[in-house]
Amino acid sequence: MEGFGVHAFKWVNKEGKVTYIKYHWKPLQGVHSLTSEQAKAVAAEDFNHATRDLYESIENGDFPSWDLYVQMLEPERLDDFSFDPLDPTKVWPEEDLPLIKVGCMTLNENPVNYFAEVEQSAFSPSATVPGIEPSEDKLLQGRLFSYPDTQRHRLGPNYLQIPVNCPFAKVHNYQRDGQMTVHANPSPINYEPNSYEEAPKEAEAAFEDSKAPLKGTIVRQAIDKKDPFTQAGERYENYTPEVRNRLVQNLVEDMKSVDPAIQLRVICNFFRAHPEFGSRVAEGLGISLDEYLPRQ
């Protein structure tokens, strides 16, 4: 299975130069899928088949790997497209912004304690290293707060002390106690500034955040360049005939029991993306589009 981030982030070099990027994971094992018929048959025998396959592959030394690619976009090109590149519902065209390989991830060890190592893990788009910053993506800006806030509710206020979440470099600060605390922190000093030599001291920052020039007026409003159908149509256009057939079959099967008015609304959206796409789904559902299409 491939993976990719819907959000754009910023890479910032030591001179403070900003480049917008998007992440992509490409499996070295290839991309493999199940048809509806195969999925039903496999799930009837083992509904955990994908998890089991991953676990057993690692256990047997057949380690799965994914290459990491990025797309890079200069800030001055943000307005060069018919869509907003910071809109998380849009993809960046690879012919204009090609994939660049930057790394590889290999899963070579299964968890020993699933609860401690997996269920307690706390992922967040705000957990970044120096040189990586969030973009102005509206959805991402909300997630920067909501994910850590969810972890505080789920795992406790000291979730960053849990071994699976804590940094390798020991953190020295004035935080203490609270629910599920891991560190003893015996020092009587929990305030600053103070005159105690043994207390943590704030060092000079090793890295500065990028400077973002502003112009215009800050407002709360919808994205101007919405363009919701062009990329969906291009995606359908690039599918092989077999993939198109499977897509239509799966949609028709899922939409059979849907209210007819909703069926028609969905078909209209498919048609706006690509006429063939909408027409084939309508045909599969036994819906005639003649009265809705202009006469030739």
Residue type at position 138: K
Report domain extents, the chain: 3-161, 230-292
Name the band, by pLDDT with cuts 50, 70 and 90, for residue 265.
very high
**Nearest Cα residue to 89 out of 149, 6, 165, 163:** 6
pLDDT at 205 (0 to 100):
75
Kindly state the percentage of the chain with pLDDT values over 90.
70
Closest CA to 94 of 181, 24, 155: 24
Q: Give the residue from 69, 88, 167, 68 showing the smallest Cα distance to 122.
A: 167
pLDDT above 80: residue 187: no
Residues in the chain: 296
Rounded to two decimals, the pTM is 0.85
Confidence of residue 216 (pLDDT cuts 50, 70, 90): low
Q: Give the separation between CA 261 and CA 245, rounded to whole angstroms.
A: 24
Distance of alpha carbon 268 from alpha carbon 251, whole angstroms: 14
Q: Is the pLDDT of residue 294 over 90?
A: no
**Of 9, 16, 6, the residue nearest 213 (C-alpha):** 16
| 40's tokens | 């039903």
Q: What is the pLDDT of residue 22?
A: 98
Where are the alpha helices (H) located in the chain, listed in sequence order?
36-45, 49-59, 114, 138-155, 230-238, 241-255, 260-273, 275-284
Q: Is the pLDDT of residue 188 over 90?
A: no
Query: Topology of 3-161 in CATH?
Result: Catalase HpII,  Chain A, domain 1 (2.40.180)
**Residue 23 amino acid letter:** Y
Quick: pLDDT tens for 73-83: 999 999 999 99
